[in-house]
Amino acid sequence: MARLGVIDLGSNSVRLVIYEARKDAAAPKPFRILADEKKMAGLSAYVVDGQFSTAGIERAAAILGDHLKIARNLSCDRVDIFATAVLRNCANSAFAVAAIEEAIEHPIFLLSGEEEADLGLAGARIGQELGRGTLVDIGGGSTELTALNEHGQRPRHGASTSLPQGSVSSYAQFVAVILPETAECRAIAEGLLSHLERLSEQSREQLRGERLYGIGGSVRAVVKMQAQALGLPAKPPLIERASLDALFDLLESDRGAFAHGAAKACPDRVHTLVPGMVILRTLMEALGAGEVVVCKYGIREGYLVKRMLKD
């Protein structure tokens, strides 16, 4: 058994998960989680005029340094750091990554949108049967979509895309205060639809289907809010359209009750909860889906299995 650490450098949070794992590809879940440490960093706020700022580099390096210290204290055999949209999409990406690496004396693997989608799919399939549909990963700075065949696999020429809009970037671009107003929700939806419309007609058709498979923090936040506000199970297998609509009804009819529920359900995501909800509902409408199957694992576990246990 090996003790392996994975650090996910995201737009909103930086998360360290330490696994006890074995190289056994036949096992449905060849690991167990020993520690899970998340720090809210808000790194997308450090992108100024398309550039990741010096303050952002210092902030990222400080948090990563703390996580690496935890990993050393827990005697990890190996620690990998990967970064996604917040560093991928900034104009000075290569410079920012190199500067952070120099500060922490540790390499960072910058994932492409396609790599992010593939690793998310690998994680979603751990211990769970997938079928025809579209895998959705709503991150802070991007949303990954991957068309799946009847075996829950990505076809050789199947559509896979990274839309440059996530829950954090939607909040930053479209929302004035904390909870979006109706017009701001509409602007978030229109922004996402504009990205979808840039896809080829063939890609949009491949992504259409009755079912979405959801991974990532934004999907989990919706699940927690459902449980808090609607009295649904804390870990439901599905997010149904009716439940999502009920959350929007509560937001419009009683913003105070919605805000208090959000503060209890996901206090670290109060400001990005509704943007994530809007993205999810917009995707359901645009792709013709009636439900979202909630997957237990995602990109970090996919990275562990495909990039660390196979080395």
| pTM of the shown model | 0.92
Our CA angle for 224, 226, 229, nearest 5°, is 105
pLDDT tens per residue, range 185-231: 999 999 999 999 999 999 999 999 999 999 999 999 999 999 999 99
Domains and CATH numbers, the chain: 2-113 (3.30.420.40), 129-294 (3.30.420.150)
Does position 85 have pLDDT exceeding 70, yes or no? yes
CA distance 191 to 28: 38
In angstroms, rounded to a whole number, what is the distance separating the alpha carbons of residues 295 and 215? 6
The packing angle between helices 241-253 and 255-265, to 10°, is 120
pLDDT tens digits, one per residue of 41-82: 989 889 999 999 999 999 999 999 999 999 999 999 999 999
Query: What are the Cα distances from residue 60, in Å, to 39, 102, 149, 164?
Result: 10, 12, 38, 21
Burial of 149 (0-12, 13-18, 19+ CB in 10 A): middle
Q: Is the pLDDT of residue 25 over 60?
A: no
d(CA 248, CA 228): 14
Please report which residue ranges of 74-137 form alpha helices under DSSP H: 85-88, 93-104, 113-124
